[in-house]
Amino acid sequence: MANRLRAFQWTMLAMSAAAVSASAEAQSIPNPVLYLTGTEYYMTGGKAFVRYKYDVLNKTAFPAAMFAPAPALPPCGTNTNASRSWVDFYDQRGKRLYGFCALGDSANLGKIWFAVEEGVVPPSYVYIEINDRQTNTKYKSNLADTTL
């Protein structure tokens, strides 16, 4: 009887550990899945630009806390309420194109963009990195097209 009880306890312990592991895995944050939603032409400072607009397919997997103001962390320029996580666009070779430091919420990952002057050939592919400055963790996306 004692052996059966001990076997049962070990089985329950193993199942409990597996459940905790699965739960932690389910709570882990994935890399962003980036895709182009469209382009937009606009003028500023007397120059014409093309804005390349993107969305992150799995934006709901990123906790809102990652984009909340983080005044205890270094500012973004003069913005002392920059968010905990910053998002940067890079071309396929790793050259930084543009960034966001105050998105406010993960839903705003659906409204990110970079721009080039009209007539300038954009990079063929881009990716983003979400830099969680509190945990010092970077989440790198896939390469996404710049053409629909």
Average pLDDT over residues 5-28: 45
In the numeric block, the tokens 């400055």 are attached to 133
Say if residue 20 is in the same domain as residue 92. Answer: no
Query: Does 44 lie in the same domain as 15?
Result: no
**Residue 121: which CATH number?**
2.60.40
- φ/ψ region of 144 (left if φ > 0, alpha if ψ in -120 to 50, else beta) reads beta
Q: What's residue 8's pLDDT?
A: 42
pLDDT at 15: 42
How big is the CA angle at 139 (ends 36 and 93), to the nearest 5 degrees? Answer: 65
Does 63 lie in the same domain as 38?
A: yes
Domain that holds residue 100: 31-145
Give the total number of structural domains in the chain: 2
- The torsion angles phi and psi of 4, rounded to 5 degrees, stand at -65, -40
Confidence of residue 11 (pLDDT cuts 50, 70, 90): very low
The pTM assigned to this predicted structure is: 0.81
Place 19 in a pLDDT band, splitting at 50, 70 and 90: very low
Separation between Cα atoms, residue 39 and residue 54, nearest integer Å: 9
Give the chain's mean pLDDT.
Answer: 87
The predicted-structure confidence for 100-116, as pLDDT tens digits, reads as follows: 999 999 999 999 999 99
